[in-house]
Amino acid sequence: MFNTTTKSMQWGEETLTLETGKVARQADGSVIATLGETSVMANVTFAKKPKPGQDFFPLTVHYQEKYYAAGKVPGGFFKREARPTEKETLTARLIDRPIRPLFVPGFKHEVLVMCTVLSHDLVNDPDMVAMIATSAALTISGAPFMGPIAACRVGFADGEYILNPEVEDMDQLRNNPEQRLDLVVAGTKDAVMMVESEAYELTEDEMLGAVTFAHEQIQPVIDLIIDLAEEAAKEPFDFQPPDYSDLYAAVKAAGEDKIRAAYAIMDKQERTTALSDAKTAIVEALTEEQQEDPNLGSAMKKLEASILRGDVVKTGKRIDGRALDEVRDIVCETGLLPRTHGSALFTRGETQGLVVTTLGTGDDEQIIDALHGNYRSNFLLHYNFPPYSVGEAGRVGPPGRREIGHGKLAWRALQAVLPAATDFPYTVRVVSEITESNGSSSMASVCGGSLSMMDAGVPLKSAVAGVAMGLILEEDGSYAVLTDILGDEDHLGDMDFKVAGTENGITSLQMDIKVAGITPEIMKKALAQAKEGRMHILGEMNKALTGAQEFSVHAPRIETMQIPTDKIREVIGSGGKVIREIVEVSGAKVDINDEGIIKIASPNGEAIKKAYDMIHSIVAEPEEGQVYKGKVVKIVDFGAFVNFFGKRDGLVHVSQIENRRLNHPSDVLKEGQEVFVKLLGFDDRGKVRLAMKMVDQETGEEVAPEKKNEDAD
């Protein structure tokens, strides 16, 4: 019934298996990839005809983590998987980015890739398995895909690169000083296509070494996919790229001068208007048949690319007149918004980000429900890209894949320099509002986020800056590496290479390649040029930070205290009664974890002190010989009981009240009266013994005992 093909190999410390032919047989390509006990099914389907008039490549990638894969039931009211999580969205982007450039140019048929996590062993991350499964499914599907690709994850500890480190090793790297890198690389046999990383101030050589190591390690996986395809691949789909050379010649003749003149305009909005007018003039100069040709858009883009790319490589001058390694003018401002905890406006040319920092308490931490378990995050970065930032009127809705991806890139760049939670017990939320965009708003978010957090008084280990690099690679091998690329240079170039870091090293690297043939030499040059740009930007950012940055008066103050774990129950009380009373009486927020670390938060310092004292009185032990202020709670014939240390009471014997004989304690005391007492010690039964007579009841200071008068004989 089934015509199953299976291929296996030893990869690192695990066995990698690819299987096809048993499941989802109506898909054009279906592969289940298994690494260890983590299995992902990738299914590929593509339309056999393009939609009429469609001038773009409609590739859609979905990645779904099923809770049953880890033996879990989804949370929430409906108890089923709902909208994609951030991890699922980011993984879908990871899969999309290296495969999109490898479809034959001109192929505009709809393609759907669906990856489903079927099993998760909590050791091998399914995202890498999904990328391999997708590549294999595309390779055997018959689609015009110039793969295969493979992908792996690389760690870096003790100076050694680690292939596919375990999920636990990569979890919350900020709390794992031994592990300094989480790098994902995807590539073909000959070239690296995509890089995504979170790093902890690695040098350029260390990062390049990690990329090279990854490319070497994926080679046997590519060979395995080829072995599978040799037995199980379908007949190649009969697709011939359209020949629109005659149309391109007509477009070039009608408008090359107009497009070149438009690209000579430095202002983005004026240039955009001139380009639109030039394209309109070109269309009007064409015949009716040429105007209706579905390849007209491709011909226009090809003309734009030839003009832009050729001029940059030949002359070394760019659209806005800059040199290849020149960064646009930068203006940095901090403290713009009076009521926020921290704010910054970062402007680089025609790209601008208004970035705001908010400091919260433990209650504000994000609880993330992942396949490998729940965890909390105290650093959040949200990126917003409204239509007005590029002068457009468009739909406004929830964050899309682009916003989530750009926000995560900035998050990776900045979280490497955050202080430890034990040193700075705040939840930090950074929001980047992109108010203008013409090239690399994600890197503007990095720079603005660093400034904004410093303005809020967050003690970052170092300032972080980011820069976007571009590449133009001609067929004859000549190339130009561009620093701080514009939107048009990104759109028509061959590489998007974003590098963020401190003056000491790289904290995040993201690279997308649109063509094969990027050599290590080109990457090395791009990294070196990016470092120069980063250092320049850091210098400009430092000008905006003058003097010590102080906390906003509107930000909560947080004080931490450590209590013995066996005292946690006493602080919380039955049903939370005690901790609720502390919060109500003091006015401060109180958060306690299983390790006995208590965070007390309030904008009011007195409220923090009151809560601290209340907790201290519960967990601390009274010291013999110390003087305490207490309250009389009960009077009996032989003395008075005084509440002097939290909930602790002790007896002041009638003989210890004053330095004279009293008929009854009520002669000088009444219930509710505040008194100073000295702790004399504990009796054989552990009862507390207190005294008042050796303490000045006005000042609370201990006084010397009076000498006893001796009667003469």
The answer to whether the CB of 426 falls within 8 A of the CB of 378 is yes
Q: What is the average per-residue pLDDT within 147-155? A: 95
> Which of these, 499, 359, 503, lies nearest to 442 by C-alpha position?
499
Is the peptide bond between 425 and the residue preceding it cis, with omega within 30 degrees of 0? no
- Taking residue 613's Cβ as centre, other Cβ atoms within 10 Å add up to 14
Q: Supply the pLDDT for residue 547.
A: 59
Q: Supply the pLDDT for residue 708.
A: 46
Tokens of 155: 């760690």
For residue 265, give the amino acid letter: I
Query: Please, what is the end-to-end C-alpha distance for the chain in angstroms?
Result: 123
* Tokens 């379908």, residue located: 234
Rounded CA-CA distance 408/414 in Å is 10
User: Which burial class, exposed, middle or buried, applies to 251 when counting CB atoms under 10 A from its CB (0-12, 13-18, 19+)?
Assistant: buried
Quote the distance between the C-alpha of residue 132 and its chain's center.
24
Rounded CA-CA distance 64/117 in Å is 6
Kindly report, residue by residue over 418-456, the tens digit of the pLDDT: 998 878 889 999 999 999 998 889 999 999 999 999 999
The answer to whether the CB of 535 falls within 8 A of the CB of 440 is no
Rounded CA-CA distance 61/113 in Å is 5
Q: Supply the pLDDT for residue 709.
A: 46
Q: What is the average per-residue pLDDT within 151-164? A: 95
Q: What is the average per-residue pLDDT within 480-496? A: 84
Q: Supply the pLDDT for residue 712.
A: 40
Q: Supply the pLDDT for residue 301.
A: 86
* Tokens 């507390």, residue located: 688
> pTM for this structure?
0.84
- The share of the chain scoring above pLDDT 90, in percent, equals 50
- Taking residue 444's Cβ as centre, other Cβ atoms within 10 Å add up to 29
Choice among 79-83, 252-256, 550-554 with the minimum mean pLDDT: 550-554
- The share of the chain scoring above pLDDT 70, in percent, equals 98
For residue 674, give the amino acid letter: E
Provide DSSP, 106-153.
T--S-EEEEEEEEE--SSS-HHHHHHHHHHHHHHHH-S-B----EEEE
Does residue 579 surpass a pLDDT of 50? yes
Does residue 476 surpass a pLDDT of 80? no
Is the peptide bond between 148 and the residue preceding it cis, with omega within 30 degrees of 0? yes
Provide DSSP, 350-402.
TEEEEEEEEEE-GGGPEEEEETTEEEEESEEEEEE--GGGGT------S--HH
Kindly report, residue by residue over 596-647, the tens digit of the pLDDT: 888 898 888 889 999 998 898 888 777 788 888 889 999 998 899 998 876 7
- Better pLDDT: 560 or 69: 69
User: Which burial class, exposed, middle or buried, applies to 574 when counting CB atoms under 10 A from its CB (0-12, 13-18, 19+)?
Assistant: exposed
Q: What is the average per-residue pLDDT within 668-678? A: 90
User: Which burial class, exposed, middle or buried, applies to 336 when counting CB atoms under 10 A from its CB (0-12, 13-18, 19+)?
Assistant: middle
Quote the distance between the C-alpha of residue 148 and its chain's center.
30
Instruction: Give, to the nearest 10 degrees, the angle between helix 245-263 and helix 268-285.
Output: 150
What confidence tier does 85 reach under pLDDT thresholds 50, 70, 90? Answer: very high
> Which of these, 514, 653, 398, lies nearest to 99 by C-alpha position?
514
- Taking residue 491's Cβ as centre, other Cβ atoms within 10 Å add up to 15
Does residue 543 surpass a pLDDT of 80? yes
The answer to whether the CB of 184 falls within 8 A of the CB of 153 is yes
Kindly report, residue by residue over 3-23, the tens digit of the pLDDT: 999 999 999 999 999 999 999
Residue 79 carries which DSSP code? -
Kindly report, residue by residue over 353-398, the tens digit of the pLDDT: 999 999 998 888 888 888 887 888 899 999 999 999 988 888 888 8
